[in-house]
Amino acid sequence: MVSEGGVDSVSLFLNVFLRSLIVFGVFISVDVPVCGAAGISPDRCLVWGSGLDAGSVLPVRYFYIQAVDSNGHNLTVSPGKETFKVKISALDKKEHIRIHVPPPLDRGDGSFLVRYRLYGTASRGLQVLVLHQDTPVAKSPYTIQGPVYHEYCDCPEPDGSVWENVMQCPDVEPQILADFRSFPAVDLQRLRQEVPQRFANRGGLIHYAIINNQIYRRTMGKYTDFKMFSDEMLLSLTRKVRLPDVEFYINVGDWPLETKRPDASPGPVPILSWCGSTETRDIVLPTYEVTHSTLETMRGVTNDLLSVQGHTGPPWTNKTAQAFFRGRDSREERLQLVAMSKKNPELLDAGITGWFFFRDREKHVGKAPLVGFFDFFKYKYQVNVDGTVAAYRFPYLMLGNSLVLKQDSQYYEHFYTHLKAGTHYVAVKRNLSDLVDKIKWAKENDAEARRVAEAGQVAARELLQPSRLYCYYYRTLLTYAGRQTGKPTKLKDMEAVPQPDDHTAACTCERGRHQEDGAVKDEL
């Protein structure tokens, strides 16, 4: 006979056991990939993106796969990183083309990012086969009719509007419109006289002229090595689309230069820079960091705007509920972060990994070991603090699935105008006085913090696509060229910046260069 107390004990045990099973079941369903991706319907899955269009020539082409179940519902958690396989080959089996196709990147939300880099031109085209457990996915195999040009093929599209349409460039870029309000006209003669006088000793300036789609330049200043980044982007762009004749200056230093107000007499001069500020009038381009990483994706860099999307750490519920920062000592507020971290270790893990600007403080503050960037995303909250200018890690942090706590700043990059505090990230006062409170808010409002993090990630995925970067450079130069007065000129001390001419650049351009050359002669 079981006593009443014994029955209560058994009931209590069963109740606790069942609750544990429920909690365990929820944990499994939320945080663990679907075993074997059993619910996926290959024919209902979605495949799309510019990497399936021959005209969208990029260093690394890319497209997307959305996993869909047998009920027609998009998966919103990872079904497993090996759910899909992709094979890409030349349609003409006699064409021996090297094509680097790494496994699809699992973005953790049911979608996958497929990347591939061509090392030769596929004259007849490519076949793209997307498989799930050896079953073709969606409308696979896909045929990309040739020619499909590789990155180093010098074969620009003569019609810029055609190129913009193929690249799906946005109709308007708010930052470009804002930057050019100060420059209704660009007097090239004044530019040639004033810019060297005022700025030649301010770090590094590169004076470019693009004539007949050929690039020429001269350098000014002590620190001009970073011209390699502007050179490589302009060369890449002119291989893809014909640019108007244009003459301009690029500032390859950290700080924007032109401080004159628009109502000054004479007014400000247009200088292209990788960073803008509320106190200057420079025309902003995408930073050299995101530009170079885009050009060298899957080759010369570890972190880029595509690879980071597949390395965003554990799901939100499994991340450590702390704010995280690692970086150099390039701004004093970063040292303040370490002090705050020591006082609030349960809220913030911050450390300085390299000392240069405040070496006298290293002994007191300490030096933290380096942490791989992808490991940042083990934490729920990322603190973004300026360096010498805007922190160039910001776009990469936004592409993760952590909540970004961004310091208020006078500095900005080309895409900031699309983002809104409270919607895409959480703003923190410049002196960091409210940072601890913002971290506490995020911990106490987990669902809202997660919503902001996800909204920021979605926006960043759209804004920071490699195609958008090319569109931005093109639209900036096109807008600039339309406001020039005077004729863009190759000056005597300018040197040519040639396209690569080794075997990696070999290709046959089929766009009809004779027609293009004729059009150029008519313009001249």
- The predicted pLDDT at position 503 comes to 80
Q: Whole-structure pTM over 0.75, yes or no?
A: yes
Q: How far is Cα 488 from Cα 1, in angstroms, rounded to an integer? A: 102
Say whether pLDDT at 518 is over 70.
no
Q: Tens of pLDDT along 134-161?
A: 999 999 999 999 999 999 999 999 999 9
Q: Is the peptide bond before 141 cis (omega within 30 degrees of 0)?
A: yes
Query: Which runs of consecutive H residues, i.e. helices, occur in 304-354?
Result: 332-343
Q: Tens of pLDDT along 385-437?
A: 999 999 999 999 999 999 999 999 999 999 999 999 999 999 999 999 999 99
| Cα–Cα separations (whole angstroms), residue 196 to 32, 219, 408 | 60, 10, 33
Say whether pLDDT at 6 is over 80.
no
Residue 31: CA atoms inside 13 Å, Cβ hemisphere, count? 13
CA torsion through residues 389, 393, 399, 403, sign? negative
Domains of the chain: 46-154 (2.60.40.10), 174-294+467-498 (no CATH), 308-464 (3.40.50.2000)
